[in-house]
Amino acid sequence: MNSAVNGKRPLTAYACLLVASLCIASQSRAEDGYELWLRYKPIGTRQLEASRESTTEIVAGTPSPTLTAAVSELTRGLFGLLGASPAIAPTVTKDRSILIGTPRSLPIIRQLEVKWDQLGAEGYVVRSLTYEGHPTILIAANSDIGVLYGTFSFLRLLQTGQSLQNIQVLSAPRVRYRILDHWDNLGRSVERGYAGESIWDWHKLPDYIDPRYIDYARACASVGINGTVPNNVNASSVSLTSPYLGKLAALANVFRPYGIRVYLTAKFSAPIEIGGLQTADPLNPSVQDWWRRKADEIYGLIPDFGGFLVKANSEGEPGPQDYGRTHADGANMLADALAAHGGIVMWRAFVYRAGGDDRAKQGFEDFKRLDGSFRDNVTIQVKNGPIDFQPREPFHPLFGAMPKTSTMLEVQLTKEYLGFATHLVFLGPLIEEVLRTDTYAAGPGSTVAKVVDGSLFPHRITGIAGVANVGSDRNWTGSHFDQANWYGFGRLAWDASLSSRAIAEEWVRMTFSNDPAFVGRVVAMMMGSREAAVNYMTPLGLTHQMSRSHYGPAPWSTGGPEAGWTSTYFARADEKGIGFDRTVTGSNAVAQYAPQVAAEFSSLKRTPERLLLWFHHVPWDYRMRSGNTLWDELVMHYTHGVQSVSDMRQTWSSLQGAIDSERFEQVSSFLAIQEKEAKWWRDASIAYFQTRSHRLLPSGFEPTEHDLSYYEALCFPYVPGARPEASSLCKK
């Protein structure tokens, strides 16, 4: 017997949620980007016929909030995609059904052959099969959240035009914590945010629940994101006060059915700022007690609270080193406070101090020696590269270097260093590049992905975090194409073995069109877009050449309070050559990598040219593999980057009419901005480096449009997302 028959609110619960979700849908204007990749527009007729046949009836397990969300999404998707309104039945009554549930909530599926043990807590199966002689679709999992993920997977198959005749999907995440980190301030500004204000309206919480929160949760769940940190790592203690915890609890209630836990950033000095203590020393019993009571208070309101994310002793934030203690002392104190409740601490390794010989080395120096001294509910959150989310960096040397410590990966979706929201840069290839890189930590094949998913060195916590690019802009991410970075992050966090090309294709099909010609051209644009940005901003391993506000080029920037914030520190261009010597003759940062990797990066000849100037100071006339001199090659890369953007523009303009004009026009305008700014990057960089190289441009290459002084004088004090001091940073 179907247990739904025994349920107290079998159909009404689904019906209510369905009505609610349709209301939300009707608030969004067509094709303004609000619906993201969950548009559910009608699919082609051939597939439609085949699909409609198998969707006469939905037979669902006993309703729970999560299962109700799954059935609601399924109904909404089928209605939009197929024009079908399948009946929701408690038992199989018709010829064609979708069975959706867990073995507990829908006992009839127990008899079906499913590899339940391979699904784990969040995995799912989506299968076409014959049930009692009838064509049937099965969406099943061990848990309700797995069923919701399976539902989105099924809808993705439909949306991307795949046949339903022989579906055999079994998918389970390898990484347990898949989290979005918002750098949002309580007053709604967003640090490095390019998509409007923060979506979190703390002022109106907990009494007003913006419907956006539900759509945010749907979008996250659709790609398997299961955690959110709504507040900035440059934290405010206020978020830990009782009123704000009440507001957070309201968000947690909204997100719970979608499998999303809330976390908080914890300001290390909170015991002083809001607790009335004289110290925040992690070894002080009163401080420990304060955090324990704070954790108890949080869990009293939010029983499934995820834990704390901490930025400590970094960029002026307080931390345990203020008291002569280590990062492990600080992290363990918080971990102990959370342990009884099952919470975790994500402690960031993004640290650097003024005056070190190489900013790239400092995270490793602080953390490597602490390997083995962290509690098992602590993970060290490590940025993909050793500096700071640059267009290209080598992998962070901490990956694989702390076998006794969980290390999670942090990538940035908001494109602080990649042209903000107006540059089309798909980050899938960047994330894929780092995940696939071999650290050699335990011999060949020790990829970053294997470090992060715990298959190299097993750990209780495995995780990936993405710095969110979401804001209150109607299209969520400030540009239509930046939605792909949210989407792609979630998909790769769920399954690091996916290719970013396949992800781009899914996204294009769901977001724009299934037309093969459109898909092919747009996917090609996306796949080349990251390399284009590397070329016009920081080719051949150059890094951090932007202005202090992080908008536009400023390779001349120097001085100020922190050398490691200036371009000249990183490029080190002089009469002889360019690049940062990180070999044994320089900072010897190469020694932080495993011997095989260190040997490769130490050798001028063996270092991949895409990272050449990261590791070596190279003479201007050095012969590159192409036979060109370094100087000529540099100019060629900058120029090629601009050309790639012009090509993207042309491709996009050839697609006019293929999609709605509203989104088409915005993308066109943004590509025009990107082309203008790519040229700015090229010309300003060449103009500056030419004052060091004293060489002519290779023949046939256009001179820069203006001379250096023109570029140096450009100043944009009110750049979005910048830290407040940026407005006073116009002079070099």
Q: Which residues are catalytic?
A: 315, 388, 416
Tokens 């796949």 sit at which residue?
Answer: 527
Q: Could you tell me the smallest distance in angstroms from the CB atom of residue 151 to ligand GCV? A: 35
State which of positions 55-94 bind ligand GCV (CB under 6 A).
none
Q: At residue 665, what is the residue type?
A: E
The C-alpha atoms of residue 108 and residue 90 are separated, in whole angstroms, by: 11
Please pick, from the candidates 60, 100, 180, 233, the single residue that binds ligand GCV as defined by CB under 6 A.
Answer: 233
CA separation, residue 540 to residues 147, 391, 394 (Å): 46, 11, 12
Q: How far is the CB of 417 from ligand GCV (least distance, A)?
A: 8
- 633: β partners: none
Binding mask 193-232 for ligand GCV (x = CB under 6 A): ----------------------------------------
Of 311 and 616, CB closest to ligand GCV: 311
Considering only 127, 256, 311, 649, the residue that binds ligand GCV (CB under 6 A) is 311
Task: Please identify, using beta-carbon distances, which residue of 312 and 573 lies nearer to ligand GCV.
Answer: 312
For residue 681, the minimal CB distance to ligand GCV (Å) is 19
* DSSP for 662-681, written as a single string: HHHHHHHHHHHHHHHHHHHH
For residue 121, report the phi and psi dihedrals to the nearest 5 degrees: -80, -25
Q: Does 43 bind ligand GCV (CB under 6 A)?
A: no
Q: Rounded CA gap, 210 and 615, in Å?
A: 49
Which C-beta is closer to ligand GCV: that of 233 or that of 370?
233
Structure tokens at 250: 């309201």
Is residue 393 at the binding interface for ligand GCV, with CB under 6 A as the rule? Answer: no
Provide the CB-side half-sphere exposure for 343 (13 A, CA): 33
From residue 532 to residue 571, the character string flagging contacts with ligand GCV as x (rule: CB under 6 A) and all else as - is: ----------------------------------------
Residue 192 interacting with ligand GCV (CB under 6 A) = yes
Residue 181 within binding range of ligand GCV, rule CB under 6 A: no
Q: Which residues contact 516 (CB under 8 A, 6 or more apart)?
A: none
Does 388 sit near ligand GCV (CB under 6 A)? yes
Q: Which of 144, 191, 358, 482 binds ligand GCV (CB under 6 A)?
A: 191
Residue nearer to ligand GCV on the CB measure, 350 or 681: 350
169 half-sphere exposure, CB direction, 13 A CA radius: 27
Rounded least distance, CB 716 to ligand GCV, Å: 16
Q: What does the block give as tokens for 669?
A: 């305008």
Residue 467 Cβ, how far from ligand GCV at the closest point, in Å? 7
Per-residue three-class SS string for 27-50: HCCCCCCCCCCCCCCCCCHHHHHH
CB nearer ligand GCV, residue 313 or residue 583: 313
Contact between 350 and ligand GCV by CB under 6 A: the answer reads: yes
Shortest Cβ 715–ligand GCV spacing (Å):
19
Residues 410-429 that bind ligand GCV (CB under 6 A): 416
Which one of 3, 47, 234, 237 is in contact with ligand GCV (CB under 6 A)?
234
Alpha carbon of residue 356 to chain centroid: 30
Nearer to ligand GCV, 380 or 667 (CB): 380
Nearer to ligand GCV, 285 or 316 (CB): 316
Q: Give me the least distance between CB of 299 and ligand GCV, in Å please.
A: 27
- What DSSP designation does 725 have? G
**Interaction pattern, residues 287-306, with ligand GCV; x per rule: CB under 6 A:** --------------------
The answer to whether 447 and 395 are in contact (CB under 8 A) is no
Q: Nearest-CA neighbor of 374 among 327, 409, 337, 318?
A: 327
Token digits of residue 228: 């959110």
Number of residues that bind ligand GCV (CB under 6 A): 10
The secondary structure of residue 210, as a DSSP letter, is -
Rounded to a whole number of angstroms, the minimum distance from the CB of residue 234 to ligand GCV is 5
Residue with Cβ nearer ligand GCV (122 or 416): 416
Task: Give the residues across from 170 on adjacent strands.
Answer: 125
Confirm if 335 and 347 have CB atoms less than 8 A apart. Answer: no
DSSP-based three-state secondary structure for 335: helix
At closest approach, how far in Å is the CB of 397 from ligand GCV?
Answer: 18
Those residues whose C-beta lies under 8 Å from the C-beta of residue 14, and which sit 6 or more positions away, are 60, 63, 68, 71, 72, 75, 88
Query: Does the protein bind ligand GCV through residue 172 (CB under 6 A)?
Result: no
Among positions 131, 149, 177, 183, the unique one binding ligand GCV when judged by CB under 6 A: 183
CA–chain centroid gap for 563, Å, is 28
Please tell me the distance from the alpha carbon of residue 507 to that of residue 222, in angstroms, as a whole number.
12
Q: In this complex, which beta carbon is closest to ligand GCV, that of residue 234 or of residue 727?
A: 234
Amino acid 9 reads R
228 pairs with which residues across the strands? 180, 262
When computed from its CA atoms, the radius of gyration of the chain, rounded to whole angstroms, is 26
Give dist(CA 318, CA 300) in Å, integer.
Answer: 27
CB of 311 to ligand GCV, least distance (A): 5
Tell which phi-psi region holds residue 716, choosing left (phi > 0), alpha (psi between -120 and 50) or beta.
beta
Nearer to ligand GCV, 329 or 416 (CB): 416
Interface residue list for ligand GCV (CB under 6 A): 183, 191-192, 233-234, 311, 315, 350, 388, 416
